[in-house]
Each structure stands twice: as structure tokens, then as C-alpha cells.
Structure 1
Amino acid sequence: MPANRPPLYPMSVDLVDRDVLLVGAGKVALRKAQDLLDCGARLRVVAPWFEPGFAKLVGGWTKIERPWTPGDEQGARLVVAATSDPVANRQIYEACAALGILCNVVDVPELCDFYVPAVARGQGVQISIGTDGAAPSLSAFARRKLLEWIGDGFGDLVQLVARLRAETRARLTLPERERFWKTLDWEEWLARIRRDGPSACERALRECIDQRVADAGSPDHTPAAQGRVVLVGAGPGHPDLITRMGLRALGRATALVYDRLVSPELLRMVPTSCQLFPVGKKGFEPSFPQSEINALLVQLAREGQFVVRLKGGDPFVFGRGGEEVEACLAAGVAVEVVPGLSSSLAVPAYAGIPITHRGLSRSFAIISGFHADGRAADVPDAETIIVMMPLHSMAGVRDRFLAAGWAADTPCAAVQAGTTAGERVLYSVLATLDQDLQREGLQSPLIVVVGRVAGWAREHAYRPELHTPPHGAAFPNA
């Protein structure tokens, strides 16, 4: 299948009492036949001979013991061809195409109008996963992994929600219902039904419905009473480094307000109906003003949205998360914070640079590479300093360090795009780091570690593929 073709449209088809034609009666066709009968299809099977297992099929079907002939496909809702004859397969497909009948020729993707995914069923749950016909065995593998992840209790939860949906339709308006169901933390409810059982879980969920109905009927009720903002730390860059709590929040989002450095993979973790609002910033370039971001968060929450504000690293470490919390509180909007793995610590660690090390550093500090007024940050009293976002101000940062008494040959390490595919590490010394960064062309996002731990990291480097050879002054021992 061409890599650039549009994705297939996934759907579930009601085949109860619908005419379906199956051509072929070998072992593969036998599996297809039972699957179709399980779905209630009115099945016709055409073949010159039949695998003995067909006699044991559960469900009513019609046996036509002869080769396929043109016209057999007429009246069928679907046709599945499972023969070993490529000429017959193509004839069947072309005959169906002429009549507008969907046809699937088993294991011949170019002769398929639809593909049958790997399916797991039980307790009102049907899970389908496919590869658009490209690798059916991988679909089966993915199905097993998905079932392992879901585990017990999922079917019970589906049945419980099915019972309560009718009740919410009678008691809540459509917008209220959508907000209620979309913003439930399903991982929490799945854990609860496993722990407490279906009856206790049903009582708790009914209490939530009662509370939502009461809130909706209150004279003070506004959508903002139901909307909320959740600040989520996305971690340093790699999508696997977000927390489970952060992923759960993404799964509930009806609106996502996200930064420029957030991994694109995380954007695919939100529901398909979620609205996306990019508000990326880039130092020393035109950016989305913080005041407008604050206003957007409040506006979306007042519309009743479950707003996830996805920020690189941790929301409260040079992320201006505190300002966003203040804006929400001032507007009467519910707000919470899901911490993230701060880039200031995670990026050096991922690159093999310890922030503290016995005999080298017992303290560290984190500073910003620049202030809003353009001046470099002051240098605190610590043995290791992590400088965030210093790319355009490194000369000023260096001068601050030297003025504070740091030696010109102090080891430094600069990490570009830490934890991502674009990661690069440059080792240098304080006096020449600015020139080395320019010479090697390192770009934002950039973090610099200053201190003897950077020398240790260079000597003990275990990821040499990341390292950019230093220029300038000789690198001293730690």
C-alpha cells in the first residue's frame, strides 16, 4: 500500500440478517465463515470443495458446492474471496466493483475495498486494531498487547456506562452530557471497578451524575462551574517521559493549549474531538503573548471545556505556570497542576551528566539564561549551575560567571534538544563556550551545565554518538 495514501475510514458494519458471499472453503475461509456467522450474517459459501470443518460451523448458512460464477455476487452486502486462484480472485473483485459491492480478497491488499482488523470481543466490548492490510500478524500482536494493558474489569465498566447513559439522557442536556462523559477519568474508574466491584462503582458513578444534575439546576450554574484548566508538564522532550497522570489528563482533554517544544506524538494522545491551540514561544522572536494565553485558558474553561495546558518540562520551572494559575484563580476557574520532569534535571541526566557527584558537587542551582530586560542572570552560590535557554546570551552569562569568581577553565557541557532525536552534546570550558556554541551551530532548545561534573561527564562519556568535539582551550581534568 502506498505510504502517502490517506488513512482508511474505520467503521463497524451491522451484518445481522444481511446477505454475505464467501468464495472458497479452505482453512482460511473456514475462519472467515465462523466470524461472519458470529456477527449474524446470512452467509452463502461457494466453492467446488469444502474443508471438513465447515460441517461443524455454528449458525445457519447456505452451501453451494461448485466454482464461483459471475452473478453469484448479486444481492450481497459484502463479498469475501478466499481462494488460491489469482485469476478467479481478480474476476470476483472486478464483478463486485461493477455492482458497487465491497469486496475483500484475502491476503491481496490491492484487491480489497476493506480490511478486517484483529478483533477481541467480550462483555459488550469489541476491540479492533488493524494495519490497513499491510501486516495482519502485527495486528494480532497489537490486539494481544492491548488486551494485556486493559486487563480485567473493562467489560464491566462498559456495561455499567451503557446502563447509565440512558439515565443521563433523561436528566442532562446534550452539552452537559458530553462534558460529563468526556471529562471522566476512565483510568481511575477502571481501577475502582477492579478494586470495589461493579455495584460499588455504579453507586459512586450515580452520585457523580446526581451532583452534575444538581449543579446544572443551580441558579448560579454556568459552564465555568464545570470547566477546568489542568497544567501538565510534558517532560524534557521524549514523549515517553511524560507522567502517567499527565497522559490521563490528555485523554480527558476537550481543548489542548500547547507549547512549541511539545512532542508531536503527545498531540495524538488527546481525543480526536479535542480542539488544538498552539501557543508556542521562541526566545527573541515574535511569540504568543502570555496575557493572551492566560485569557485563552480562562475563555475555554468558561465554555465548560476540560482544558489541558501542555508545557515542556515542568509547568513551574521557567514555564510561567504560576501566572496561568493566578489568571485562572482570579477568574474563578478551577485549576490544577500535574508536575512534569523538568528539563533542567532530566536533560543532563539523559546525556550522562550528573548534577551532583560525591567529591565534585554537593549543591546545584538552576538559572535562566536571560531576563525580560535582556540582562544575564546573576550567578548563585552553588557547585553546579544549570543555565536554561542561554543560546543568545551566553557571552553575558560567561561574563557574570567570571565576575563572580569562577575560573575561566571551568568545565561546561551544552546539550541541544535533550532526550530527542536532535540531541547533541558539546563539552567546552567557560572562557570559550560562547565561541564553541557558535562554531558548532548548536541551536535552541539548549541547556548548559557549568561545574566540575561536566568534566566528569566528558571523561566517563558512555554515549559518544551525541558528542560534538570541543574547540578552543584544552579541556582540563575535573
Structure 2
Amino acid sequence: MAENKTVGGGSLLIAWQLKGKKVLIVGGGEVGAQRIDSLLTTDAHIDLVSPSAGLHPRSKGFLEKYPSRITHIDQEFAFIDGRQTTTAFIDVGTYDMVLTALDDNALSRQIVEVCRAIRVPVNAADIPELCDFYFGGQVRDGPLQIMISTNGNGPRIAALIKDRVKNALTGKEGDALTKVGILRTKLKERAPGVGGDVGRRRMRWMSKLCEQWSLEDFALLNEEAMDQLLDEGWEHNAVPLPVQVVGKRKIGGILEAITTDWVRSLPSFTSFLAGIGFAHIVFRLYQARK
């Protein structure tokens, strides 16, 4: 049996749901600002421990823009003889996740030890061996999130790969996924229930639909087209062709693109014809001289 090179040495990539959860960030510098930016996507509540003097401009901007999402605790996070000496005691055990964004590795290690002792997931910036999880490069388009992780080996390389992945996308994926999500909600309203025959039928129908329709087709859906798709498809246990549901919009878009391209090409086309005419005149003059 051939060796499976994907076994071992990797991480479990998961979409961690943090909505309504509490996250502690220690350090408000540049890395702290990056962590805030990442967490705002998740709808978590953030407590930021950092003296005001150490706040990065982006961190200050986030605090001003999202006061209901971020609580600023204006103080140092410090230990003496293993005991926390912060002005206002911070109970790490009340948090669902802790992130350190500090230049002080010794302090980061102390915070990690406290978190590990009470089983709170922790990430220590720039100290891979102390991290329960990593932050990777991320491509985001609406509900679509793609993470690229080098498992702590090369964050800059992850950023370069992220750019390649982003450039390979059409830009319609997020819109298409949003439309699919709305369609699934409508389908569940028509055929409610979890599991059972109805649940399995829903899954089969959606799977066939996703196999036969392109992302561009889904992106063209509107409310009326979704209802038509469910009426003519789901209700008859069939998958209509895209042209039957969004065909007019799609063809219209293609015709518009062709027309626009033709109009844009008029100047160069006119120049081309003029060039042919000029060459013909020169040739006739040359023939007359002979």
C-alpha cells in the first residue's frame, strides 16, 4: 500500500463558530490589530488588554468604530512570581479563546501556561510551539472563506499563496453562495424537518442542482427565479436547466457584453478598414505607373 503523505504533520482546519463568545487579546500593537480584524468577522465579543500608549492606529480605529464589540482594558498584563499583578484582575477562565500579541515572549509563555492549566485554547503570536491553533492567510468573499495554513512554517508564503488563490477566483463565488443559502432556506420552508425521507430528498435534490448548475447560474438567481426553480424543480422532483430559469437574464447579459465589446472595438475596426483602403489606393497607383 502506497504511503499516504497527507497523514500526520498537519492541523485540523475547522470553521470555528465564535458568535456571542468571549475572546481575550493581550497586546494592541500591529499584530493585535490583525487579530481584531480577523475576529470581527466572527461576531465574537473582544476584550483587548493594552495600555493606550501601546495601541496601534488600526487598533484605535477599531475601538472607535466598534465600541459595542470591543472592550478596551487600559492596563498592562503582568505577572510577579507566577501571580497576575494587573490593576483589574482578568479571569482568563471566563474566556472561550485567548490570543497574545506581545513582543515579550516570557509574558506570552506565562499566559499560555495559565490557559493550558484551565484548558482555554490559546495562540501566542510568533511562538508556533505554544499555539493550540494558527492564523492562516484568508480569502473572503461574502460567505466564502478559504484558509491557507503553512502550520507555522512560513506566514509570508501563506500570504503569497492566498494571492494566487484569490486571483484564480471569478469574483462571483460569494454572490452565488449567498443565493444558494437563500434557496436552501426557501426549500426548508417548503419541506421542513430534520433527517428522515424529506431531509434525504432535500439533500439529493440540492446535490443534483449544484452538480448541474454553474456558479454563474446561481449568481443570476433572484427571488422570482428561486420560486420558479422550486415550483418547476423541487415540486416535480426534477432539476430544470439553467436556461429554463435564468436563461433570459443570462442571454441578456451575454448580448450586452457582446454589444459593449463591439462598440468599444469600433475605433480600431474603422482604422483597420481605413488601412485596407489606403493600401488598395497605393497598389492601384503602383499598377498605373507600370
Q: Same fold (TM over 0.5)?
A: yes
- Describe how 1:14-163 pairs up with structure 2 within 5 A: 14-48=17-51, 49-53=53-57, 54-57=59-62, 58-60=65-67, 61-69=71-79, 70=84, 72=90, 73-163=92-182
Q: Which runs of 4+ in 1 moved over 4 A?
A: 185-188
Tell whether 2:217 aligns with 1:192. yes
CA distance in 1 between partners of 2:229 and 2:25 (Å): 50
- Cα drift, residue 75 of structure 1: 0.9
Retained in 1: the 8 A contact 2:49–2:76? yes
CA distance in 1 between partners of 2:135 and 2:227 (Å): 35
Tell whether 2:218 aligns with 1:213. no
CA distance in 1 between partners of 2:34 and 2:134 (Å): 15
Retained in 2: the 8 A contact 1:20–1:42? yes
1:224-265 deviations in Å (ceiling 9; x for gaps):
xxxxxxxxxxxxxxxxxxxxxxxxxxxxxxxxxxxxxxxxxx
Retained in 2: the 8 A contact 1:23–1:68? no
CA distance in 1 between partners of 2:214 and 2:47 (Å): 44
Structure 1 residues 52, 137: CA separation in 2 closer, same or farther (over 3 Å shift)?
A: closer
Structure 1 residues 211, 110: CA separation in 2 closer, same or farther (over 3 Å shift)?
A: same
3-state DSSP class of the match of 2:49? strand
3-state DSSP class of the match of 2:114? helix
CA distance in 1 between partners of 2:214 and 2:222 (Å): 13
- Cα drift, residue 64 of structure 1: 2.8
TM-score of the pair, normalised by structure 2: 0.63
- Cα drift, residue 26 of structure 1: 1.7
Retained in 2: the 8 A contact 1:25–1:50? yes
Paired residue for 1:469? none
Retained in 1: the 8 A contact 2:50–2:72? no
- Cα drift, residue 191 of structure 1: 3.2
CA distance in 2 between partners of 1:133 and 1:32 (Å): 16
What residue ranges of structure 1 are gaps of 5+ in the alignment?
217-478
- Describe how 1:75-474 pairs up with structure 2 within 5 A: 75-169=94-188, 170-171=190-191, 173-185=198-210, 188-193=213-218, 197-199=220-222, 203=225, 206-207=228-229, 210-215=232-237
Structure 1 residues 136, 104: CA separation in 2 closer, same or farther (over 3 Å shift)?
A: same
Structure 1 residues 16, 204: CA separation in 2 closer, same or farther (over 3 Å shift)?
A: closer
1:357-398 deviations in Å (ceiling 9; x for gaps):
xxxxxxxxxxxxxxxxxxxxxxxxxxxxxxxxxxxxxxxxxx
> Which residue identity lines up with residue 199 of structure 1 in the other structure?
N
Retained in 1: the 8 A contact 2:33–2:56? no
Retained in 1: the 8 A contact 2:141–2:174? yes
Retained in 1: the 8 A contact 2:28–2:56? no
Structure 1 residues 51, 211: CA separation in 2 closer, same or farther (over 3 Å shift)?
A: closer
CA distance in 2 between partners of 1:20 and 1:37 (Å): 11
Retained in 2: the 8 A contact 1:81–1:106? yes
TM-score of the pair, normalised by structure 1: 0.40
- Cα drift, residue 215 of structure 1: 3.3
Structure 1 residues 51, 176: CA separation in 2 closer, same or farther (over 3 Å shift)?
A: same
> Which residue identity lines up with residue 5 of structure 1 in the other structure?
G
Structure 1 residues 185, 104: CA separation in 2 closer, same or farther (over 3 Å shift)?
A: same
- Cα drift, residue 102 of structure 1: 0.2
CA distance in 2 between partners of 1:138 and 1:131 (Å): 8
Identical pairs, percent: 23
What residue ranges of structure 2 are gaps of 5+ in the alignment?
1-5, 192-196, 239-290
Structure 1 residues 175, 40: CA separation in 2 closer, same or farther (over 3 Å shift)?
A: closer
3-state DSSP class of the match of 1:62? strand
- Cα drift, residue 7 of structure 1: 3.4
> Which residue identity lines up with residue 206 of structure 2 in the other structure?
W
Retained in 1: the 8 A contact 2:187–2:230? no
- Cα drift, residue 40 of structure 1: 2.6
CA RMSD of superposed structures (Å): 2.9
1:443-472 deviations in Å (ceiling 9; x for gaps):
xxxxxxxxxxxxxxxxxxxxxxxxxxxxxx
Q: Which has the larger Rg?
A: 1
1:158-192 deviations in Å (ceiling 9; x for gaps):
12111111233333812222222223355842133
- Cα drift, residue 94 of structure 1: 1.0
CA distance in 2 between partners of 1:157 and 1:116 (Å): 26
Structure 1 residues 26, 133: CA separation in 2 closer, same or farther (over 3 Å shift)?
A: same
Count of paired positions: 211
The structure with the greater share of residues assigned to strand is 1
The structure with the greater share of residues assigned to helix is 2
1:42-63 deviations in Å (ceiling 9; x for gaps):
2222235413413221312222
Paired residue for 1:10? 13
- Cα drift, residue 93 of structure 1: 0.9
Retained in 1: the 8 A contact 2:115–2:122? yes
Higher relative contact order, chain-length normalized (CA < 8 Å, sep 6+): 2
CA distance in 2 between partners of 1:129 and 1:98 (Å): 30
